[in-house]
Structure 1
Amino acid sequence: MSAARAAKHKPVVVDEPPKVTPLITTLAARIVDLVRREDFPAGHRLTEQSLVDALGVSRSPVRKALQVLAQQGVVRSEPNRGYQLALPSAGLQPLALDEAESEEAIYLRIASDRIHGELPQEVTESELMERYGVSRIQVQRLLNRMGREAMVERKPGRGWIFRPLMNDLQSHRESYRFRMIIEPAAILEPGYAVDLAELEKCRREQQQLLQGGVMGCTPADIFQAGVHFHETMIAGAHNRFLVDSLRTINQMRRVVEYGTRLDAARLERQCRDHLVLIDLLARNERMEASQFLRQHLNTARLTKLGNE
């Protein structure tokens, strides 16, 4: 048989589809979120190393997540060029994956149980595995995420400890009052200069929340978009104490916000307020932005906590 005929009859080896685990589906959803947040165009090359750096995971699950996205037509693979976006970011919607949503639901259950005092301040992986019926790998993944979000800390020995929460009415009132003092004042600081590139990322996040429907987002998505905007805004004062103070408050209220019932009207108004503030800051209209921000925070305080 000639070499040409042998090559013609050589069996084609097809890569097996990746085993889809909760980690892979979660990573696939996070890659899509990253693409939408960064507003990448069609044809943008997604390298494994850039995703490893951005998502804080190893190469193997990133590679499998890209294979899942290729099957769904989000990316395409070309020889010697790796993966590229098949669609522009504007044409993508957040992935709704059952496995990822299941893990998100467990995450919110843990947060809710901690808020209501049903979980002690110190826990072990084994206790969480038994209580929520999940594997050790899932628990470790959830705790690592909570650690990145400053909700828990690993103890020197074994186990984890939850950080302090803002879970009573008075502490919420004090936090809003404190934010009404520092955030509007930060905008008026001498030399204030917001990072315009980061501000545009915030704009895209707020627009995506409105276009995609806030009720279709998770509480974590909504909270993180708000945190990103407010911390970007206050960072323009270039004062580490202001930034650190706001981050501490956000860490303390994160768990409580995740357990808050979603109110579509309130959340849409919040997104529109954020877009107004972004426009004011982009035009360097700082006095107007400061006044609008104080009003925005006060409205949020009254809506959530009522009159004092």
Structure 2
Amino acid sequence: MRRLPWRHWMMRTRSNTRQNHLKLARRIIEVALERGMNRGDHLPETTLSEACGVSRTPIRSALKLLESNDIVLRREEGGYFLNHSPEEIGINGISRLDDMEGSLAARILSDRAERRITDVQSVSALVRRYNVPRSAVLNALKILSIDGVVAQLPGRAWAFQPLLDTPNALAESLSFRLALEPQAITAPGFDMDSQKAGLLRQQMEDFLRRRDGSMSSVEFLHLDCAFHSLIAESSGNRFVCGALLAHQRLRLTTQKDHSIPDFRLRQSLEEHLDILDSLERMQHQLAADQMVLHLRRSQIRKPQAVNRGLLPLARKGMA
């Protein structure tokens, strides 16, 4: 059985931990309902720990999730208290948590893309801007950090990574990938999931069969990121894998649709298929050389696509 790449294992672990906290939060509401508790009643951690059969640490995490959805209130020196009666909440009431945090992450990202918020933000500033609990902002920032959009600075500030929506940012992105993606292929231990590669090949071939004018640049970006993510996660070097996967998520999240001509999309997908052919034949060095050529061609394509509005004379120097 093929092992998951290190970063995928870490992401799955975080996801599983969060799901456990959600289940425990629902159990806390069940306990409150069973014991006939009402709005304003205290929720002692020790009592909940005994009722749920877990230690106080996961109880605290579950209570924080409930607080982020305004189901409980935390008072200094007093602990947590019900903000609504269990009947008002409903057993499935906290299922809104994931939607709320995902929606807030999307709003933050949208405001960042439109330059409505600056490169560095404090949690307090985001709490005031969006009028939501501090825990909700932290959870949204964690979602964005997994996608490589933000990174926490020393202290309480968070810094947004460069968006891939300018010629300079795209050029730096391609230089970064040119340095690492060929290394991902040639590093010892490269192991590509043949089932995943076969499915991706089928999707790319289906896309290539579309007639001109029906090719979506957005759909292409998803396919492109999926291909390059497959290369990253197949690498035997966990650090190369992690860096490239994070960058592909950043591309997918922040790179805008630049209406790339159909013939460019076809050419790029055909290059992907050529690289897959070499990898399936275990010709790793050839595949790495093909990746270098593929990314260098992209260095020519991208500025032309981004700067479609520039004067022809200005574009001529980029070709």
**TM-score normalised by structure 1 residue count:** 0.49
Indicate the structure (1 or 2) with the bigger Cα radius of gyration. Answer: 2
Q: Normalized against structure 2, the TM-score is what? A: 0.48
